């Protein structure tokens, strides 16, 4: 039985808007049918997102399609915010056939349902690797600035113990770190945002090859923005355009230079973004660890060439990306300057190939088709 104090605690936290929706139960329930039940432990946007307004992340779109796939397969669906441990009492009484997602709720309910198919959905790099790589970057930042910066990305949604009881893994990034679990592993791409007014056309490549876009969010040092600022500061002939930088100002200052331009948050559906697309040949994200960044998918959907670090979530792109071998300043600077002088004919072809690849892999219809195929395959297997 749920205590009144627990209910009050949940109401106080969620109903005032700190987190919009802690859980929704019994989606697709049909009392005339014998149905299986799935718990989806994921993000907290399921029932309150206004899809006619600006959406901050493509996982809002993907979450809808995840629910739809399970709905079409006839499941009763319970949805919970992945770290809403205050809500656990609402789910401990249920017996689940499938538990899907990540986070503390995923882990705790999985332990109570040993007969369920446990599917972890990994949108980041392996937690052990993510922590190691983020600490490396923070130490490198300290070496250069004498400023200590806290962890921003690692350990929030994924912990090593969360992988103890899993039966399957759906991975957005690199598969290799997860092979040690000896379970079936599936790869999936995220979706990107698409400006509906965008039309593929040739850029002024002589100029655009000197322009790089960093499109990010929280964790600027994790995502290598500090490295880029240092490089572009001393190379005025190339230009860095920064979008989405909204944290860490106390640690990382963006200098006021003609070749380093900070736009703040930007509307992907707006004309300013289309101007940047036309101006920039490259979308650059020297991140230490990703699943697969939706900002890169977004850039590629607008024919921008991705410049990313190898083994950080993007290896599947193969020849459709510039895969950087290192993140140290000297190496990065040399590679960026080389890209700014890239042969025009090669660059033109590269833009076209990236555009075609992105349109075949990063649309919401592609995500839905791939996710449905994976879940149906898992559903047909005996545990």
Domains of the chain with CATH codes? 4-123+159-191+364-379 (3.40.50.2300), 205-361 (3.40.50.2000)
Q: Helix axis angle, 294-301 relative to 344-361, nearest 10°?
A: 120
Kindly report, residue by residue over 22-75, the tens digit of the pLDDT.
789 999 999 999 999 999 999 865 555 555 556 656 788 899 999 999 999 999
Residue 283 has pLDDT above 90, yes or no: yes
Lowest mean pLDDT among 63-67, 80-84, 109-113, 327-331: 80-84
Q: CA neighbours within 13 Å on the CB side: how many for 163?
A: 20
What digits encode the pLDDT tens for the residues 66-80? 999 999 999 999 999
User: At residue 249, does pLDDT exceed 70?
Assistant: no
| More reliable by pLDDT, 304 or 217 | 304
pLDDT on residue 381: 86
Residue 15: predicted pLDDT: 44
Distance CA 30, CA 75 (A): 9
Q: How far is CA 260 from CA 145, 226, 242, 263, 307, in A?
A: 19, 12, 7, 10, 18
Average of per-residue pLDDT across 251-264: 92
Q: What is the pLDDT of residue 49?
A: 56
pLDDT averaged over every residue in the chain? 89
pTM for this entry: 0.88
Distance CA 326, CA 14 (A): 43
pLDDT for 305-321, tens place per residue? Answer: 999 999 988 999 999 99
Judged against a pLDDT cut of 80, whether residue 19 lies above it is answered with no
Residue 17 confidence (pLDDT) above 50: no
Range of 10-19, 35-44, 145-154, 268-277 with top mean pLDDT:
268-277
Q: What is the pLDDT of residue 16?
A: 40
CA 294 distance to own-chain centroid: 5
Beginning with the edge strand found earlier in the chain, give each strand of the sheet holding 239-243 in spatial order: 260-264, 239-243, 211-215, 282-285, 305-309, 322-324
């Amino acid at each position: 039985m749920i205590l009144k104090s627990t209910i009050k605690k949940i109401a106080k936290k969620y109903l005032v808007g700190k987190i919009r929706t802690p859980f929704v139960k019994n989606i697709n329930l049909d009392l005339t049918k014998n149905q299986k039940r799935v718990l989806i432990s994921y993000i907290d946007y399921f029932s309150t997102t206004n899809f006619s307004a600006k959406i901050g992340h493509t996982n809002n779109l993907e979450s809808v399609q995840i629910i739809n796939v399970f709905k079409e397969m006839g499941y009763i669906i319970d949805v919970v915010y992945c770290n809403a441990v205050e809500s656990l009492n609402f789910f401990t009484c249920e017996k689940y056939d499938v538990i899907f997602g990540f986070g503390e709720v995923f882990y705790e309910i999985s332990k109570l349902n040993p007969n369920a198919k446990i599917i972890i959905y990994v949108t980041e790099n392996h937690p052990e690797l993510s922590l190691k790589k983020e600490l490396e970057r923070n130490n490198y930042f300290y070496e250069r600035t004498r400023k200590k910066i806290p962890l921003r990305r690692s350990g929030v949604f994924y912990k090593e113990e969360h992988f103890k009881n899993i039966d399957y893994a759906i991975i957005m990034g690199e598969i290799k770190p997860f092979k040690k679990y000896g379970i079936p592993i599936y790869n999936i791409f995220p979706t990107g945002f698409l400006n509906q007014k965008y039309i593929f056309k040739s850029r002024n490549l002589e100029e655009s090859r000197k322009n790089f876009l960093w499109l990010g969010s929280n964790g600027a040092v994790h995502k290598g923005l500090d490295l880029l600022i240092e490089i572009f500061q001393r190379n005025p002939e190339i230009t860095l355009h920064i979008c989405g930088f909204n944290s860490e100002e106390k640690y990382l200052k963006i200098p006021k230079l003609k070749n380093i331009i900070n736009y703040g948050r930007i509307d992907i559906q707006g004309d300013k973004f289309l101007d940047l697309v036309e101006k920039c040949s490259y979308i650059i994200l020297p991140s230490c660890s990703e699943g697969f960044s939706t900002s890169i998918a977004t850039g590629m959907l607008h024919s921008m060439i991705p410049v990313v670090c190898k083994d950080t979530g993007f290896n599947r792109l193969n020849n459709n990306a510039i895969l950087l071998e290192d993140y140290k300043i000297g190496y990065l600077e040399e590679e960026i300057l080389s890209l700014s002088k890239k042969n025009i004919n090669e660059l033109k072809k590269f833009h076209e190939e990236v555009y075609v690849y992105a349109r075949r892999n990063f649309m919401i219809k592609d995500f839905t088709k791939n996710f449905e195929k994976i879940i149906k395959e898992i559903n047909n297997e005996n545990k």
